[in-house]
Amino acid sequence: MLPPWRWLATAPCADSDHNDAVSLPEKVPIILALLEQTSTALLADVARLTEADMRAPSTLPDWSRAHVLAHLINQGDAYRRMAWGAAHGLTLQQYPGGRDQREAEIERNAGWPAEQLRVELERSTDELRTTLGTMPEAGWSHTVIRVNGPMPAWEAVQSRLLEVAFHHLDLAAGHTPGRWPGELTDLLLPDIAAGYERRTRAGLGERWLIG
């Protein structure tokens, strides 16, 4: 059974036509700051994991903690490629080989020793930070192709923020939602609630109010 927070992770990030209370130019720095905070917290906890800790189960079915970290490493590299493409006017795919590539890379890299997983996670995080830090303004609205479809680059980065936040919980290494920055909840809750309401209406044919 999935942990109780995982249904939240299936909620989409803001739709491109969503009437956001915060404009795009204001939202991007907020997303980047939160991504930095959540990534730093993740790296700090991962630094304490031993080899045995890495091989222990995560909260996700059939995934060890090493699988979760391998996924975050590979995904960080994929987001860096997509962001680089957006900065240069190119539309790049998250995984050119599709889900088969994604799964094969996770299985391969989950076998890395603990120290290599830590080093690669730090490298992937640093390289993504550098690429996002040099994104031209027009790049944020450029389309990238995530594994679940096209979206503007800024929305993909928000989705990376969500992935880091939730997969940190999936490590089952003592991190809790109570350690999230308050701004993270403020940013994501409207979209999580909207996604939950859409699924509820689709499944039951009625409207549920979140509040």
Q: Is the pLDDT of residue 25 over 90?
A: no
Cβ-Cβ contacts under 8 Å for 82 (sequence gap 6 or more): 92, 93, 94, 144, 145, 146, 153, 156
Size of the chain in residues: 211
Average pLDDT (134-149) is 94
Cβ-Cβ contacts under 8 Å for 193 (sequence gap 6 or more): 11, 210
What is the band of 15 on the pLDDT scale with cuts at 50, 70, 90? very low
Q: 61 or 208, which is more confident? A: 61
**pLDDT recorded at residue 3:** 53
**pLDDT recorded at residue 192:** 65
Concatenate the DSSP letters of all residues of 94-107 into one string.
S-TTHHHHHHHHHH
Cβ atoms of 128 and 80 within 8 Å: the answer is yes
Cβ atoms of 206 and 77 within 8 Å: the answer is no
Spell 147-159 as b/e; 16+ CB within 10 A means b: eeeebbbbbbbbb
Average pLDDT (107-119) is 97
Average pLDDT (115-144) is 97
What is the band of 14 on the pLDDT scale with cuts at 50, 70, 90? very low
**pLDDT recorded at residue 210:** 40
**pLDDT recorded at residue 185:** 82
Could you tell me the two tokens for 183?
């701004």
What is the band of 19 on the pLDDT scale with cuts at 50, 70, 90? very low
∠7-95-51 over CA atoms, to 5°?
A: 70
| pTM assigned to the model | 0.82
28 vs 42: CA distance, rounded Å: 21
* pLDDT tens track for 27-40: 899 999 999 999 99
pLDDT above 90 as % of the chain: 66
Work out the number of other CB atoms within 10 angstroms of the CB of residue 140. Answer: 22
* pLDDT tens track for 162-185: 999 999 999 999 998 888 888 888
Could you tell me the two tokens for 182?
């308050």
